[in-house]
Amino acid sequence: MTIIINKASDIKASEITPRSVYIHRRQFMRQAFASSLILATDAMLPVWAKRWPDLQQSTYKTDDTITSLKDITSYNNFYELGTGKKDPANNASIFNPKPWSIAVEGECNKSGIFNLEDFIKPFALQEYIYRLRCVEGWSMVIPWVGFSLANMLKKFEPNSNARYVEFTTLLDKSRLPGQARRVLNWPYVEGLRIDEAMNPLPIMAVGLYGDVLPNQNGAPIRLVVPWKYGFKSIKSIVKIRFTETQPKTTWNELAPDEYGFYSNVNPDVDHPRWSQRTERRIGEPFWKPKRQTEIFNGYAEQVAHLYTGMDLVKNF
Ligand SMILES: Nc1nc2c(c(=O)[nH]1)N[C@H]1C(S)=C(S)[C@@H](COP(=O)(O)O)O[C@H]1N2
Ligand SMILES: [Mo]
């Protein structure tokens, strides 16, 4: 018997299968194995039935229709794999997200370098269905697999100087060939204020649609901050650093008038070159009217209090 060790790019059956059907099929397969005389081992299950079949739903979900796996994995921004929307999918196989380690540094008691498996192990994975609103004016609804960023950060015991958290993407142009071109100042860096990071909404995502993260979506581990424009949700993270001062983030450094440090989704604050009032939901037919963008991407109840007293036009 061959044991298949699947790669992050190996998403198969679910690509063409509606979500409820594939979840059912996974359950059916597992039951079928369990009730047969064959002793089912994980390695015997087909690739698509292996990963996280019993995921708990987090309390954070939306009733919006989930975007198709095809759209989520073929319409991407991941400049390290090319600047066109289809480039990351086309170049995904060039990027090998194994082996992977994550360094935790800065203002905390428990810094260190961890391999991905050890890093993830303490946390219970759940499914979080979140809207993602790109600053460019489109949105998707993505069923992430991940765990609470806040719970993760607490493990490293940030000290009282830790006022921000900085995240950094892998820098390696042999694995991320887009870094050979100086379209951005590599490596990609993002950051959050510590109270934003400790809010229960942000997650570290390691999968989507019940399976491991496809390379083009930021394998093997990325951030998801649902009330901020998509560029804050940094992909393929290798470093997490607690800092006293505000991190220098990639898009903010490149064009500070266009991309603020906060970058909360806000229909009342236009981008200098376009309105942010509406958005196009990827996958919806072209004749459907655009959607009204909601303040904090619809998550105001959970996050508006983080910004009381702040001028959101100045602090965009
Ligand atoms: N390292 C890195 N992270 C990144 C980007 C990028 O180019 N490089 N693009 C960002 C932008 S603009 C968006 S909208 C989201 C897109 O995530 P998705 O392709 O998984 O939908 O990733 C964000 N994270
Ligand atoms: Mo974006």
What is the model's pTM? Answer: 0.87
Rounded distance from Cα 151 to ligand 1 centre (Å) = 23
d(CA 76, CA 171): 19
* Other Cβ atoms within 10 Å of 72 Cβ, number: 23
pLDDT band, very low/low/confident/very high, at 54 (cuts 50, 70, 90): confident
Instruction: Give 164-197 pLDDT, tens digit per residue.
Output: 999 999 999 999 999 999 999 999 999 999 999 9
**In 62-137, where do the E strands start and end?**
101-106, 112-115, 126-133
Work out which ligand 1 atom sits closest to the CA atom of 79.
7
**Ligand 1 site, residue 261, Cβ cutoff 6 A:** no
Residue 1: pLDDT band (50, 70, 90) is: very low
pLDDT tens, residue by residue, 58-68: 998 788 999 99
Q: Where are the beta strands (DSSP E) in the chain?
A: 56-57, 101-106, 112-115, 126-133, 138-148, 164-169, 189-193, 203-208, 211-212, 222-224, 237-243, 278-281, 291-292
Query: 206, 231, 297: which to mutate for ligand 1, most atoms within 8 A of CB?
Result: 231
Whether pLDDT at 97 is above 70: yes
- Domains along the sequence of the chain with CATH: 21-307 (3.90.420.10)
CA of 131 to the centre of ligand 2 (A): 13
Kindly state if the Cβ of 26 falls inside 6 Å of ligand 1: no
Mean pLDDT taken over the chain: 89
78 lines ligand 1 (CB under 6 A): yes
From 244, 185, 219, select the one nearest 8 (Cα to Cα): 219
Percent of the chain with pLDDT over 90: 81
Q: How confident is the model at residue 216 (pLDDT cuts 50, 70, 90)?
A: very high
Cβ distance 263 to 191 under 8 Å? no
Q: For residue range 227-239, what is the model confidence (pLDDT) as tens digits?
A: 999 999 999 999 9
The whole-number pLDDT of residue 61 equals 79
Site to probe by mutation for ligand 1, drawn from 70, 71, 74, 78 as the one with most ligand atoms within 8 Å of Cβ, is 78
CB 201 within 8 A of CB 225: yes
Taking CA atoms only, the protein residue closest to ligand 1 atom 23 is 231
Residue 34 has pLDDT above 70, yes or no: no
Give yes or no for residue 265 having a pLDDT over 50: yes
Count of H-run helices and E-run strands, the chain:
9, 13
pLDDT at 17: 42
Given a cut of 60, whether residue 44 has pLDDT beyond it is: no
Task: Give the tens place of pLDDT for each residue, 153-163.
Answer: 999 999 999 99
